[in-house]
Amino acid sequence: VREFTNLHHGVRVPHRCEEGASQPGINSQCHNYAGGHVYPGEAFRVAGSDHSLHLSKAKISKAAPQWEGTAVINGEFKELKLSDYKGKYLVFFFYPLDFTFVCPTEIIAFSDRVHEFQAINTEVVACSVDSQFTHLAWINTARKQGGLGPMKIPLLSDLTHQISKDYGVYLEDQGHTLRGLFIIDGKGILRQITMNDLPVGRSVDETLRLVQAFQYTDKHGEVFVLEYLLSNK
């Protein structure tokens, strides 16, 4: 029997959990997850941390959670959805907030090198909990003033937090996301997840290598060490 804190109808209440026991009123089993017993779909606080997380619907080798929303594309507001990328690989990454320090460097890096992804039939989309209006304001701010400048990749708005919750990156107590990156193949299957804490951004080179590796296995049906592929290109 273990005690834990459960977020139920917006209120944190203590519960005691036995293996295989169901929470009264909720038809779900108690599970071990990230250091504590929680119920699937509920928010919870990881022991010893300041973060409350959401269990992810995003599962490796399963269909990626569907999403749609308003994005800034080439300086304009457009509706965008995951199914728009059917037949292509998609690098879908989350960053905490607009107008923050690490975020512009990695977003600019992905934008400036998006042609390398497009050359291998892959697109890139960035997402945060900011509104599309804040996205546009950040894009319209010069890089030397902490802005993004013109972008070659869409910036998707997740103002309701639903997308970030579905992908398991939303920090309930912070109101924004961790730095999650998801590689989704042309059939909509999730192939890879990278999750970083807030201070560290993602590597464009590493992301390119991972996409190339999955595409190689798609074509050849082989399992291999990634460095082998790179050394034999």
26-75 tens-digit pLDDT: 333 333 333 333 233 444 444 555 555 556 788 899 999 999 999 999 99
First to last CA, the chain: 54
Query: Which range scores top for mean pLDDT: 7-16, 55-64, 148-157, 193-202?
Result: 148-157
In a domain, 211, yes or no: no
Whether 175 maps to a domain, the answer reads yes
Q: Is residue 226 part of a domain?
A: no
- Is the domain of 116 the same as that of 39? no
Looking at the fold, whether 73 and 36 belong to one and the same domain comes out as: no
List 17, 30, 103, 127, catalytic entry:
103
**Domain membership of residue 10 as a residue range:** 2-52
Lowest mean pLDDT among 6-15, 41-50, 101-110: 6-15
Residue 118's CB: how many other CB atoms inside 10 A? 13
Domain count, the chain: 2
| Alpha carbon separation from 40 to 12, 68, 157, 175 (Å, rounded) | 15, 23, 26, 20
pTM for the predicted model, two decimal places? 0.74
**30 in catalytic set:** no
